[in-house]
Amino acid sequence: MFVVLDVCYAPLHHILHMPALYPLIHKHHHRQHYPTRGYLDAGNEHPIEHLVGVLCTWAAVLVASATTGAHAAIIFVFFNVHAALAMLNHSPYDVRWSVLGIEYTVGNHEMHHRKFT
């Protein structure tokens, strides 16, 4: 589910950073240069950005359910891990780990907020 979510959301997030759209939609989320309030900062987004995120999340669930028959418990875990990662990305804690060669670090997202990239 996370792969489908990333395939959907990453290009859309990149589009939200384009100069024509950034001040209209995504700038609202980046007002926090150093997000520390967890889900309060993660969920502080323009309604259009929120809708895009929700649609990508549900697309991930629907694709996973249709292709793998994902059990409701797995979908529950997905939503909770997704929320936990959003909270970590907007927290003051520098959490980092690596799974199967894919590295996760809160610091990367923090720098994303600081540099508006």
pLDDT tens, position by position, 7-52: 998 898 888 888 998 888 777 666 666 666 666 676 678 899 889 9
Please give the residue that has the higher pLDDT: either 37 or 104: 104
Which structure tokens are listed for 33? 């240069």
23-37, 48-62, 72-86: the lowest-pLDDT one: 23-37
Percent of the chain surpassing pLDDT 90: 27
Judge if pTM exceeds 0.85: no
Number of domains into which the chain is organized: 1
Full domain range(s) for residue 105: 2-115
pLDDT of residue 27: 75
- Across residues 64-73, what is the average pLDDT? 92
What's the distance, Cα to Cα, between the start and end of the chain in Å? 26
Compute CA 12 distance to the chain's CA centroid, rounded to the nearest angstrom: 11
What three-state secondary structure class fits 98? Answer: strand
Instruction: Provide the pLDDT for residue 91.
Output: 79
The residue to which tokens 């980046």 are assigned: 30
Closest CA to 112 of 79, 90, 92: 90
pLDDT of 78 = 93
Q: What integer pLDDT is reported at residue 22 of this predicted model? A: 82
